[in-house]
Amino acid sequence: MSATINATRVAFIGLGAMGQPMAQHLISAGFEVVGFDLSPEAKAKLSAAGGRAAETISEAMLGADVAVTMLPNGKIVRDALLEGNACGGLKPHAVVIDMSSSAPNDTRELGSELSNRNLRLVDAPVSGGVKRAVSGTLTIMAGGADSDIDAVEPLLKAVGQQVFRTGPVGSGHAMKAINNFVSGAGVLAAIEGVLLGRAFGLEPETIVDILNSSSGKNNATEVKMKQFILSETFGSGFALGLMAKDIRIAADLAKTIGLRLEALASTADTWDAAQAKLGPSEDHTKIIAYLDNSL
């Protein structure tokens, strides 16, 4: 296979809030996209955008040079690739790019299994949310051999603005879990800051304005508090269950490595408890309903 893959057939598995706009950017960039999702509506959207919808994962992968997975978690990614040997139909030495937010140690194992089948794995999770998936300006953190990332760089650049190379397979997923821990802790801090200030008598909008002009500013104060939380629209497009999963991945990673990180442990526990109370499919910004408790 040539070093660079561009006018190529891509199997795209997982056409949800993130995967759909990403697949559509690939179509616009000239890739031949054959997609699969459990949802018939998601497949219909892909067809309307100029892609081809497959009946099964195996059919989507048959003869593809690259397989992209954008699925809820790494276990689902693994099953999608290996169950019924779906990835067996990919071209020899094809690159599998897992762009989901999966657990890094599982990704390493998957990399070995794919390598035994003459396939290559790049983990390339993304940050930026639905808004930046739609605008094609995601941040991508790519783990894998340089030559494998080189081979799929045109594809990554069609969906993202910046592609960071993080090291060997699994390192992109480790970085993504770290990012979402910091992001998820920032959401908790921003909401609790507003709850505290409001209870004292400050105006919530004023609190957010002042944080955004001060050292307390973070991603949640800038793009979530007014837009989705104070407005009570709760429409960020990122599910609570996915955020809880990502922060638990970071907490599990710390445990595996033998690090005791207090803020990480309590952040993971808080998101898990909120998920248990509100349900995994609520928007993650709805966590204010869990945090807003009077003594």
Where in the sequence numbering do the catalytic residues fall?
176
Question: Does the protein bind ligand NAD through residue 37 (CB under 6 A)?
Answer: yes
Identified binder of ligand NAD from the candidate list 6, 49, 62, 72, rule CB under 6 A: 72
Q: Of residues 219-258, which lie at the interface with ligand NAD (CB under 6 A)?
A: 237-238, 242, 246
Q: Which residues contact 1 (CB under 8 A, 6 or more apart)?
A: 65, 91, 93, 94, 151
Residue 130 binds ligand NAD (CB under 6 A): yes
Instruction: Enumerate residues 148-207 that contact ligand NAD by CB under 6 A.
Output: none
DSSP-assigned letter for residue 91: P
| CB of 19 or CB of 172, closer to ligand NAD | 19
Interacting span for ligand NAD (CB under 6 A) from 72-80, 185-193, 199-207, 215-223: 72-80
211 residue type, one letter: L
At its nearest, how many Å lie between ligand NAD and the CB of residue 212? 21
Which DSSP string corresponds to 148-167? Answer: HHHHHHHHHHHHEEEEEEEE
Q: Which stretch binds ligand NAD (CB under 6 A): 127-135, 146-154, 203-211, 286-294?
A: 127-135
Q: Which stretch binds ligand NAD (CB under 6 A): 23-31, 122-130, 149-157, 257-265?
A: 122-130
Site string for ligand NAD, 89-118 (x = CB under 6 A): -----------xx-----------------
Q: What is the DSSP letter of 147?
A: H
Q: Which of 5, 26, 42, 174 binds ligand NAD (CB under 6 A)?
A: 42
Cα 28 to Cα 12: distance, rounded to the nearest angstrom? 14
Which residue number places its CB atom closest to ligand NAD? Answer: 16
Cα Rg of the chain (Å, integer)? 20
Shortest Å, Cβ 70 to ligand NAD:
5
Residue 4-23 contact track with ligand NAD, rule CB under 6 A, x = bound: ---------xxxxxxx----
Min CB(209)–ligand NAD separation in Å: 25
Question: Of 218, 275, 281, which is closest to residue 248 (Cα–Cα)?
Answer: 275
CB-CB contact of 124 with 265 (8 Å): no
Tokens of 133: 């998936």
Which segments of the chain does DSSP mark as H helices, in order?
19-28, 40-48, 57-61, 74-82, 104-116, 129-134, 146-159, 171-200, 204-212, 219-223, 240-257, 262-278, 288-291
Contact 103, 252 (CB under 8 A): yes
Q: Which is nearer to ligand NAD, 21 or 207 (CB)?
A: 21
- Count of residues binding ligand NAD (CB under 6 A)? 28
275 binds ligand NAD (CB under 6 A): no
Residues for the chain: how many in total?
295
For CA atoms 139, 143, 146, 149, the dihedral sign is negative
Place of tokens 């069609």: 158
Residue 60 binds ligand NAD (CB under 6 A)? no
Which residues, including other chains, have CB under 8 Å from residue 160's CB and lie 6 or more apart?
126, 128, 136, 137, 138, 139, 140
Provide the binding-site residues for ligand NAD, judged by CB under 6 A.
Answer: 13-19, 36-39, 42, 70-73, 76, 80, 100-101, 126-127, 129-130, 237-238, 242, 246
